[in-house]
Structure 1
Amino acid sequence: MTGSAPQHNHGQADKPGAQDAQAQVTPQWTVRDAVIDFARRVGITTIFANPGSTELPMFRDFPADFRYVLGLQEAVVVGMADGHAQITGNAALVNLHSAAGVGNAMGNIFTAFRNRTPLIVTAGQQARSILPFDPFLAATQATELPKPYVKWSIEPARAEDVPLAIARAYAIAMQEPRGPVFVSIPADDWDQPAARVAEREVAHVMRPDPAMLARIGALLDACERPAFVVGSAVDRAGAAADVVQLAERHRARVYVAPMTARCSFPEQHRLFAGFLPAMRERIVELLDGHDAIFVIGAPAFTYHVEGSGPHVPAGAQLCQLIDDPGVAAWTPQGIAAAGNVRLGVQELLARAAPKARELPAPRAVAPRALPPAAGERMSAAFALQTLAEVRDPDGIVVEEAPSSRPAMQTYLPIPRAGAFVTMDSGGLGYAMPAAVGVALARPGERVIALVGDGSSMYSIQAIWSAVQLRLPITFVILNNARYAALQDFAPVFGFAPHETVQGTDLTGLDFVTLAAGMGCPGARVSDAAQLADTLRHALSVDSANSAHGGPTLVEVIIA
């Protein structure tokens, strides 16, 4: 598994004139050699995995220049790989255990699909020779299990086809819209002969249609009060600076699309207008007064509850630039260009400057969150305001605290693209392992994992991986002893005020003790006066559990 072909002794050449010395022969590669060689060539030298028996042959003779990152549960493995791939911009390689392992991982495979994260997910399969007998641990119809939440799925027909399948999987995962792919590999394939994958290069982005971009540009030039709505694909494409320039040129207010997983516009910029909720009527209300709405790198629009009426305000024209033609296909009205977001925005910037417009009024500044009264718990708003004041503003936040997200959007502004990661899916169990992957991709930088108490219990095993890797992660657990998002959402589905919502109370959880059991130091804060100093200490590399910095946890008791 070194990527260099082993030297096998095939004997002396049996031909007239053969020399007495051993003949020089072409070295024989195995599937393992060819796969590792290809992975090395495309820059994938970290493997995120949880091992099983059918995967063991993959890792024999593990190469010294590769890194194996162990997760204690398969959903954790995929979450770590997702965070790493989002920050590096390159596909991550994930190895899972046959059917049961893939099943455990499906929640975060779904999230990776919604996040448009390029992952090559491999899973072991029983040896080909015993598959006809339905053996223990075999995956029946292995390629069907992860569908429809992978872009492509295959179990190669022959062992020698595995390296080419991996190469094809990489190209598909990286092609916009990016996403996870799946390859099932029988255990006895790894030692079979295989050829080296030929040098190849596949374009990963496509330029949007120039004619459609010209129509979008003309609409923006002619309007009076434009609004931009930005989504995750802006940050994925590295287009945030271009979007800022385009917004400044058109003097457009900039909103964040509902359920957006990344920061695609600096939230302290004068043109920043706030976050749109996943409700049709509220979106129309907030966008009212704009005559052109340009949605960049996001669906138009993501909804969470039923709605009625128009999708945009009366008199407004909708246009869209998105990396996913499948999303453009269901945009309810207007015009849409599909292709790489950065290339599209740069083409719009190449147009002549539009007519001068007045600068819109800045967004109102929220009042400061007040500390709690004596005997009361602090609010999420106060906790997040304090975190914003003591943290490095250029640091990365990985978030999964759904009920506290409105407070976070108000009191913990993200000042730059690339500094915020969450999930587009709404599935829980993502942020804690994703923070591990982010920290691996940004060595030396302290990462904040901001997680709710309920969310954290889906993948708290990620703390163990962070400890073993000595990663500088500060896990901030907002503990309100409940699934607050569900309780807050219950009235939408007809619950009466103060009616009990079954299955939403979470009592008796001690996150400091849980962290300590995995080797991570922690502190619990219920006194608002102690919060700033506790967070400041936890965010210091010197405060961690190793000389090089490591993880620490702060459990914040909130109302």
Structure 2
Amino acid sequence: MTDEFKPKTTAEHLLWLLHEHGVEHLFLNPGTDSAPVQEAAAVLTDAGVPIPRIIPCTFESVGLAAAHGYWQVTGRPQCVFVHVDVGTQNLGAMMHNAFRDRAGVIVIAGKTPYGEDPESAGGRSHVIHWQQDVPDQAGVVRGYAKLTLEITRSEMLARGVGRAVQIARGGRPGPAYLMISRDVLMDPPADVPGRTSGYAIPGPAMAGRETALRIAGLLAGAERPLLITAKTGRRPEGFAAITRLADRTGIRVVDTPESGCLNIATSHPMRVGSPEAARRLVAEADLLVVADCDVPWIPKFVHPRGDAVVVQIDADPLRTDMPLWSFPADISVTGDGATVLDEVAALLPEVDLAAKWPGGTGETPAAPAAAEGPIAAREVVEALNAVLREDDILVEEMVTNAGALHAFVRRTRPGTLAGTGSPGLGWALGGAVGIKLASPDRRVIAVVGDGSFMFAVPTAALCLAAEAGAPTLTVVLNNDGYRASRLPVFELFPDGVSAARGDAVGTRFRAAPDLAALARACHAHGESVDDRAVLVPALERALSAVEAGRSAVVDVRIAPN
């Protein structure tokens, strides 16, 4: 706080505190409760007081996805401001994604004003101020937030914001949810400037030498060791630790399609690139090391050997947020995957990978068949390989076609593949904007299904990209329906009517929108492709538009399987 400026309202103090705690962006979906924050932003800007950059969002879930994407790149929580209970509800599945992907984000929601007298500053003045006074607003997100807290007095603000940032970032990161009514936001600040230090973030947890030596000994003696990981490679040091361990021990690495990140280079000989190979290796392994992974295998399809040793490493190895989680573990380590794997790797000498695997790893993809008929998902991935740079960031939400991406995409640098690994569809477009904000000098390309594209509120996402000055390319694999919802019908009823018809109720789009036209309506470059011969040129044109400052959408018609 400068000597020349002192905040006059709690809203002004809030923006100052957020900036002091390192929040660089506030994604705002305004409502009747945000007026004090909007005025505070104008006052502080005119006074030259630094505050987070405020980016307007036309739909709340897109703003939260963007904050989540920014976290993935930087590890720094950003803020989303939403309108009371209804704005909170519009966060929807993106709150689930942030929780499951361990994304440190801060959501601030308005609250129905308390005062109703004429002299009550910020008091109730609309019908909705009674309608939105619900018994448990925080209950909307309580199961998906590490912290829920209402700021009922200005004296609480400095502690509440500091605690929210600390909890969002620390330990196993996740969302923090604060509520504050507009009459409190208009109150004079009671605690100025308020403490902004003393909210230390715990460092990564280590295994300790004794446990690390035990794991290293198991690795040294294992004949068929297997590492299964989902999130460890999210940070560059995790990518490096996995690579180091693979180089030193010859351990095979299952980089799960649900990971939402690149855990090891796709060209590394120890990477397992297909779900089928992963299942086979789970069944054969005598040692399984599971790091930062919610679901290491699907018991319906595969089980480890009865004599296999399972080592589990996670910030919460008990998975207390999953009531029926019961995967076996012989050694359970409460620790940070990157830190523990690096501890273990440091205790081991390098091995000759060619000698350990004399027949090779057997993971080389088969040669592609002759191209004919509709464009296949694999061909889209190969076209992307032809146009992507090494430092481009690929954002993936392909659902049933994700296997093709993970099997055939070429990515060698940490941080060049992103996703949530969570089931809430519609993240990729907003997430790509946040990733672009965090990586302004790099190209960001989202690859999604047509269902994911529409779940993402594309008009709001494209608007956000334009408002934020963060253009991205979205490539849509368009099969005119919800294949992910069709396959379970065939799985559960293999001899049923739906399987015989090759269709399932509610999974085909009979009057789908023109996605390229939708993009153009939002001032983005848009084109449709149904001929493989023009796919690469179309992607090149779209990337040229992105480099010129416009977002782009390429709608690729693939086989309607």
Task: Provide TM-score, normalisation by structure 1.
Answer: 0.88
Corresponding position of 1:24: none
For 1:54-93, what aligned pairs fall within 5 Å after superposition? 54-62=33-41, 63-64=44-45, 65=50, 66-93=52-79
For 1:218-233, what aligned pairs fall within 5 Å after superposition? 218-233=217-232
Assess if the C-alpha contact under 8 Å between 2:26 and 2:53 holds in 1: yes
Rounded to whole Å, the distance in 1 between the matches of 2:297 and 2:133 is 38
- Shift of residue 289, structure 1, vs aligned partner: 2.8
Identity of aligned residues (%): 25
Change beyond 3 A, Cα 1:332–1:352 = closer
Rounded to whole Å, the distance in 2 between the matches of 1:366 and 1:249 is 25
For 1:536-555, what aligned pairs fall within 5 Å after superposition? 536-540=540-544, 543-544=545-546, 548-555=548-555
Alignment of 1:202 onto 2:200: yes
Corresponding position of 2:95: 109
Assess if the C-alpha contact under 8 Å between 2:236 and 2:414 holds in 1: no
Corresponding position of 1:21: none
Task: Find the partner of 1:350 among 346, 349, 358.
Answer: 346
Rounded to whole Å, the distance in 2 between the matches of 1:484 and 1:352 is 45
For 1:440-519, what aligned pairs fall within 5 Å after superposition? 440-459=437-456, 460=458, 461-495=460-494, 496=496, 497-499=499-501, 500-507=503-510, 508-519=512-523
Corresponding position of 1:525: 529
Which is worse superposed, 525-534 or 386-395? 386-395
Assess if the C-alpha contact under 8 Å between 1:263 and 1:417 holds in 2: yes
Which is worse superposed, 348-357 or 413-422? 348-357
Rounded to whole Å, the distance in 2 between the matches of 1:325 and 1:187 is 41
Aligned residue for 1:489, secondary structure, equals: helix
For 1:275-294, what aligned pairs fall within 5 Å after superposition? 275-276=274-275, 284-294=279-289
Corresponding position of 2:308: 316
For 1:425-436, what aligned pairs fall within 5 Å after superposition? 425-436=422-433
Change beyond 3 A, Cα 1:363–1:92 = farther
Which is worse superposed, 93-102 or 229-238? 229-238
* Counterpart code for 1:367: A
Alignment RMSD, CA only? Answer: 2.5
Rounded to whole Å, the distance in 1 between the matches of 2:106 and 2:227 is 34
Aligned residue for 1:448, secondary structure, equals: strand
Alignment of 1:97 onto 2:101: no
* Counterpart code for 2:330: G
Rounded to whole Å, the distance in 2 between the matches of 1:123 and 1:6 is 30
Change beyond 3 A, Cα 1:31–1:212 = farther
Task: Find the partner of 1:38 among 17, 31, 34.
Answer: 17
Instruction: Encode CA deviations 1:466-490: one digit per residue, 9 max, x unaligned.
Output: 1333423111111111112222332
Change beyond 3 A, Cα 1:158–1:483 = same
Change beyond 3 A, Cα 1:82–1:302 = farther
Which is worse superposed, 206-215 or 471-480? 206-215
Aligned residue for 1:54, secondary structure, equals: coil
- Shift of residue 524, structure 1, vs aligned partner: 0.8
Tell me the matched-pair count. 525
Assess if the C-alpha contact under 8 Å between 1:283 and 1:312 holds in 2: no
For 1:256-335, what aligned pairs fall within 5 Å after superposition? 256-257=255-256, 259-276=258-275, 284-301=279-296, 303=298, 307=300, 311-327=303-319, 330-335=326-331
Assess if the C-alpha contact under 8 Å between 1:233 and 1:323 holds in 2: no
* Counterpart code for 2:534: Q
Change beyond 3 A, Cα 1:124–1:430 = same
For 1:141-290, what aligned pairs fall within 5 Å after superposition? 141-192=136-187, 193-195=189-191, 196-198=193-195, 199-210=197-208, 211-236=210-235, 238-257=237-256, 259-276=258-275, 284-290=279-285
Rounded to whole Å, the distance in 2 between the matches of 1:54 and 1:28 is 19
Aligned residue for 1:61, secondary structure, equals: helix
Instruction: Encode CA deviations 1:148-207: one digit per residue, 9 max, x unaligned.
Output: 001110113423202211110110010121000100111112232232232224133342
Rounded to whole Å, the distance in 2 between the matches of 1:553 and 1:79 is 18
- Shift of residue 443, structure 1, vs aligned partner: 0.5
- Shift of residue 5, structure 1, vs aligned partner: 7.0
* Counterpart code for 2:506: G
Rounded to whole Å, the distance in 1 between the matches of 2:473 and 2:389 is 12
Rounded to whole Å, the distance in 1 between the matches of 2:199 and 2:149 is 21
Alignment of 1:126 onto 2:112: yes
Change beyond 3 A, Cα 1:386–1:209 = closer
Change beyond 3 A, Cα 1:224–1:532 = same
Assess if the C-alpha contact under 8 Å between 1:371 and 1:528 holds in 2: no
Instruction: Encode CA deviations 1:247-276: one digit per residue, 9 max, x unaligned.
Output: 111111111236211111111111112244
Rounded to whole Å, the distance in 1 between the matches of 2:242 and 2:79 is 31
Task: Provide TM-score, normalisation by structure 2.
Answer: 0.87
Assess if the C-alpha contact under 8 Å between 2:72 and 2:234 holds in 1: no
Instruction: Encode CA deviations 1:475-526: one digit per residue, 9 max, x unaligned.
Output: 1111111112222332222243334311000133200111111111111111
- Shift of residue 139, structure 1, vs aligned partner: 4.2
Rounded to whole Å, the distance in 2 between the matches of 1:485 and 1:430 is 16
* Counterpart code for 2:92: M
Instruction: Encode CA deviations 1:85-129: one digit per residue, 9 max, x unaligned.
Output: 111111111111110111110210011001100011110012222
Rounded to whole Å, the distance in 2 between the matches of 1:175 and 1:534 is 43
Rounded to whole Å, the distance in 1 between the matches of 2:199 and 2:150 is 23
* Counterpart code for 2:535: L
Rounded to whole Å, the distance in 1 between the matches of 2:40 and 2:147 is 29
Assess if the C-alpha contact under 8 Å between 1:267 and 1:415 holds in 2: yes
Rounded to whole Å, the distance in 2 between the matches of 1:157 and 1:442 is 37
Aligned residue for 1:491, secondary structure, equals: helix
Change beyond 3 A, Cα 1:129–1:93 = same
- Shift of residue 284, structure 1, vs aligned partner: 4.9
Change beyond 3 A, Cα 1:342–1:411 = closer
* Counterpart code for 1:442: S
Change beyond 3 A, Cα 1:415–1:490 = farther
Runs of 4+ in 1 over 6 A off after TM superposition: 131-134, 354-357
Rounded to whole Å, the distance in 1 between the matches of 2:73 and 2:272 is 26
Rounded to whole Å, the distance in 1 between the matches of 2:7 and 2:552 is 48
Rounded to whole Å, the distance in 2 between the matches of 1:95 and 1:533 is 40
- Shift of residue 403, structure 1, vs aligned partner: 1.9
Rounded to whole Å, the distance in 1 between the matches of 2:53 and 2:491 is 47
- Shift of residue 440, structure 1, vs aligned partner: 0.8
Change beyond 3 A, Cα 1:217–1:299 = farther
Rounded to whole Å, the distance in 1 between the matches of 2:64 and 2:318 is 24
Which is worse superposed, 202-211 or 430-439? 202-211
Rounded to whole Å, the distance in 2 between the matches of 1:267 and 1:105 is 34
Which is worse superposed, 115-124 or 484-493? 484-493
Corresponding position of 2:120: none
Aligned residue for 1:90, secondary structure, equals: coil
